[in-house]
Structure 1
Amino acid sequence: METARPNSSGRDRKTTRRTGQQLGRTAPDPGAARLLGAQHRSSSRARRVIVGGLAIAGALVLAGCDSVAGIPGDEPAPAAVTTPPAAVPTIHATSAAPAPSAAAPSTGAVAELPAAVQRWANDLKTSTIAQLQAKCWTIAPKNVSDMYSDEQPILAALAQPGTATEDSVTWKTRTTTVSVERAALDTGYACPRVASAGADIAYNDADARHTVRRYLARVVGTPLDAADKDGTYPLVCKAAPATWDPAGTGKAIAAPLANNPGKLTGVTKFADQEISSETLRGDYLAVEVPVTNSAGVTKTRTFTLVAGEQGYCIGDVSP
């Protein structure tokens, strides 16, 4: 960065005075000299302001690096950032997804993209990762960043015929798998999950932590999105069929939280940046988070979740 440059240095003024004397000209009058001196002092102050401003800005950037605790990328999605038209990437016509159909068939081949997936695919072409994180609030922000960073393979997969099952609709190429949950299709905007190398879709610890975050956000009255309601986006495991067995006893029962949904009644806030997780037996996972009740008492609660065909669901919460 260039700093402000003085209009005339001391060395220049001396040269000018000597040259004037040598040529027999009158030396600059005192008023002009004072004006030049003031300009020099003003330029020096400008340099100090610029350097000081850079130092303050640098300190703020360094402080920002440590301003968020917890697991990086696991926090709620940031507010959407508007992208200038010039910054929108150019998408070649060959990568455009097919026109949408109203809905996907219950099972079997899917010739066209369901409308809910097409809306997301259109946004993938023009949105930043921050914007996609805000729109795809059902998915952990870090996973959105990881899965959607390379749009071309995703759009190439969506251009292929898909396959519908009772739980999901999936599109594949040799290098990429794109899958969307059937329940998401009914919401009008479906954010799919993506796996590379044609692998099957899998859910990770960040998904489990984000499920608990969404559940607690509902409990305290501040859902991540106004549409995040249990009727549309269930987060608790179903009571039937009775398949709950985190200890591996061989005697499955109904998920306890399904039969006692009021376990966290009275909770007013939770420590979002202190959520942690630990793998248990098989597909089960424990998530711990400090919660505070209306009396101001804070206690760490343990949520037990299990991974299924459509992600993690919460089956139990410690007392």
Structure 2
Amino acid sequence: MQPAQPNTRIRRRETWQRVWCGALLASTVAVAGCDSAVGIAEDANRPSRFDHATTTPAAALPTAPAATAPVATPTGTTTVPPADAPPVGAVPGRPLAAAAVQSWAADLRTATTAELQTKCWTLAPRNVADMYEDKQAILTALAQPGVASADALTWKSHATTVVVDPAAVESGYACPRVYPAGTEIAFNEADARHTVRRYLSRFVGTPLDPTDKEGAYPLVCKASTDWDPTGSGRAVTPPLAGNPGKLTGVTKFTDQELSSQRLHADYVSVQVPVTNAAGVVATRTFTLAETAEGYCVGDVSP
């Protein structure tokens, strides 16, 4: 039987997080992640299905540098998965999809969380740790036939939904997003923070991957984007689209202190301390809008 047609757009709402939180609370398990601080320590290393808005940064890891995020190893580029790779259902009309996901699925079985975070550098480290936790559930879903829509490739089981960005299959190694079945597909604040992390890492000359460039992976909102983070009803051009050099002079940022806050509708603000060439540290606020592909940076202040 063919799976039901997925939503044609990954939406912002975080219903899937509330479902998991409610389920765990109902079983009397104490869940710190339901009301936890955010930042690189938790984004990268603490598996959690909950990502509520907060302006309180998490404590830094003892061994983490107080500067930029580390450079990651490039993802694989082969379209030929290992012979013993787990089965992945074909997607009608998308002949490269199954092989690209199969290459990732082969790593899922044996790789550590840290290794998957490195390979899947376009995804928030926190989401990788969280979403990839139940490996067997993911592999069961992937064995089902896939379905394509304009914005997503989807595999479903009775318990799990696996979603891949269609553009990701072109590299031959596609890292998916994973959700409990029946919940709404959503981007979250970890995605927004990771967008800023990638943007700043590029800006200071240490991208998470050598291929992480604006031409290949756009992070800045396009000039055509309707920009209205205050909900005024009067959309304008995203300020950063017309002033890409707004952060000129920034030399590093404090990755451990990334924090975020939900704004009006499909907008999130991310705060992070940055340092200029004179050694002066100031907290900058990035405002991001959600698109069908994820979050884009539309403004930086002050």
TM-score, structure 2 normalization: 0.70
* 1:318 and 2:287 matched: no
Paired residue secondary structure (1:114): helix
Aligned residues of 1:77 and 1:134 also touching (Cα < 8 A):
no
CA distance in 2, matches of 1:265, 1:77: 21
Matched, 1:74 2:43: yes
Of 160, 178, 188 in structure 1, the residue corresponding to residue 172 of structure 2 is 188
C-alpha distance after superposition, 1:139-164 (max 9, x if no partner): 12121111011111111111112221
Residue type matched to 2:87 in 1? A
Contact residue 143 and residue 206 of structure 1 kept, 8 A: yes
Greater Rg, structure 1 or structure 2? 1
State how 1:133-172 maps to structure 2 within 5 Å.
133-172=117-156
Tell me the SS of whatever aligns to 1:200.
coil
Matches within 5 A, 1:281-296: 281-296=264-279
Q: CA deviation at 1:192?
A: 0.5
Single out whichever of 174-183 and 194-203 deviates more from structure 2.
Answer: 194-203
Contact persistence 1:100–1:118 (CA under 8 A): no
- Alignment partners' CA distance in 2, 1:195 and 1:157: 11
1:119 — aligned with what?
103
Match of 2:87 in 1: 97
Q: Is the 2:89–2:144 contact (alpha carbons within 8 Å) kept by the matching residues of 1?
A: no
**Residue 112 of structure 2 aligns with which residue?**
128
Q: Which residue of the other structure, out of 173, 179, 184, is the alignment partner of 2:157?
A: 173
- Following superposition, the deviation at residue 308 of structure 1 comes to 2.3
CA distance in structure 1 between the aligned counterparts of 2:178 and 2:231, rounded to whole angstroms: 31
Task: Give unmatched runs, 5+ long, in structure 2.
Answer: 1-37, 45-68, 74-83
Unpaired segments ≥5 residues, structure 1:
1-68, 81-92
Alignment map for 1:11-26 (pairs within 5 Å): none
What is the aligned partner in structure 1 of residue 28 from structure 2?
none
Corresponding residue for residue 262 of structure 2: 279
Contact 2:70–2:206 (CA<8 Å) still a contact in 1? no
Q: 1:180·1:193 contact (CA, 8 Å) conserved in 2?
A: yes
The answer for the alignment partner of 2:289 in structure 1 is 306
Query: 2:187 aligns to what SS in structure 1?
Result: coil
**Kept after mapping to 1: 8 A contact 2:154/2:164:** yes
- Taking the aligned partners of 1:312 and 1:79, their CA distance within structure 2 comes to 21
Is the Cα–Cα contact under 8 Å of residues 79 and 131 in structure 1 kept in the other structure?
Answer: no
Q: Deviations over 1:247-297 (max 9, x none)?
A: 111111222211211111111111111111111111211001111111222
Q: Say which structure, 1 or 2, has more relative contact order (CA 8 Å, 6+ apart).
A: 2
Cα separation, 1, equivalents of 2:270 and 2:159: 33
Q: Deviations over 1:214-236 (max 9, x none)?
A: 10000000011112111111111
- The code of the aligned residue for 2:285 comes to T
What's 1:56 paired with? none
Structure 1 residues 77, 311: CA separation in 2 closer, same or farther (over 3 Å shift)?
farther
- 1:211 paired with 2:195, answer yes
Paired amino acid for 1:202:
A
User: What number of residue pairs does the alignment pair up?
Assistant: 231
- State the distance in 1 between where 2:210 and 2:96 align: 30
Alignment of 1:10-49 (within 5 A): none
Displacement of 1:201: 2.0
Q: CA RMSD in A?
A: 2.5
TM-score, normalization by structure 1: 0.66
Instruction: Report the structure, 1 or 2, having the larger helix content.
Output: 1
Contact 1:98 1:112 in 2 (8 A): no
- Paired residues of 1:173 and 1:198 also in contact (CA < 8 A): no
Q: Which residue of 2 aligns with 1:22?
A: none
Contact 1:79/1:130 (8 A) holds in 2:
no
Letter in 2 for 1:74: D
1:243–1:255 Cα contact (<8 Å) kept: yes
Residue 229 of structure 2 corresponds to: 246
Tell me if structure 1 keeps the 8 A contact 2:96–2:169: no
* Residue identity opposite 2:170 in structure 1: D
Shift of 1:172: 1.3
What displacement does 1:113 show? Answer: 4.0
Q: Give the secondary structure class of the aligned counterpart of 1:170.
A: strand
Match of 1:39 in 2: none
- Structure-1 separation of matches of 2:97 and 2:143: 8
Distance 1:260 1:143 in 2: 31
Q: Check conservation: 1:302, 1:317, Cα contact below 8 A.
A: yes
Name the amino acid aligned to 1:187: S
